[in-house]
Amino acid sequence: MIVVTGGAGFIGSQIVAGLNRLGREDIIVVDDLTDGKKYKNLVVNKIADYIDKVEFRRLISERNNLCDQIEFIFHQGACSTTTEWDGQYMMDNNYTYSKELLHFCIERSIPFVYASSAAVYGLNSKFSEEPANEQPVNVYGYSKLLFDNYVRRLSADINSQVVGLRYFNVYGPRESHKAGMASVIFHFNNQIKETGELNLFEGSDGYADGEQLRDFVFIDDVVNINLWMMEHPIASGVFNVGTGKANSFNDVANNVVEWHGKGRVKYIEFPDKLRGSYQSFTEANLTDLRSVGCDYEFTSLNYGVNAYLNALNSE
């Protein structure tokens, strides 16, 4: 039995779909469906069972008989809202919950692959998995870094696979429930259909209008790296998951305009609330990922954006 926490979310539900393509349907999805709209991400997948997150935490704390059936855990469940400042809520969801699962897996030698984030790097300009580069600027990033460091401290005494994947800017189908936290491609698509204009931030941190750079990674790549880790149990550690190539927001906007064959870019004032806490540049260093034998070729921005827009506009 495979457990996918956050399995009704964006990345989690796509991992379930990836497992289905491998012929696996013995999957338990763990999530919180307070936002019932996320059911749409579940209904297209084949799973064995659904368990509410609160109930699942209780079951593993009591070492319920169900636990004996678990052979692998993909831990994607978290509060991923970077603008959430309720630290108690964030730390319980992202740190304490993760520790509970980690120790459950270590005790039973169950492979454990979990979602970390490029938010751990904050405003740094270097993106290799080294403590000197890790300076988060929000409590979300801090919660992820704290767990990465917890895993690092225990790593010498862990005999089973434990992998943290630091996702960069992920985009693709099944993210609509994320609302404001959905990718710029999702928002650009809506904007061009509604107003014919794409809103980009004016220049900041020395970058010209719309020239801020991010490492945009297609959801299929994120799923495939997760599945690669499952198929290569010797790999353990914390790894970046991005393309290794930064693109500007203008690049993304131009891709969207070209796909639609209409629209124009409108630059809007950079919000004061984001000054000092906005990543104007991210680019994954893939050295550590390659060092464990993962030579996966990531999707180009043009191909990924076009594939996503095809999916969005066929719904």
> Which residues are annotated as catalytic?
140, 178
Main-chain phi, psi angles of 198, to 5 degrees: -105, 125
Burial of 88 (0-12, 13-18, 19+ CB in 10 A): exposed
CA within 13 Å, CB half, 124: 20
Q: Are 97 and 79 in contact (CB under 8 A)?
A: no
Kindly provide the b/e burial profile for residues 265-296, where b requires at least 16 CB atoms within 10 angstroms of the residue's own CB: beeeebeeeeeeebbbbbbbbbebbeeeebee
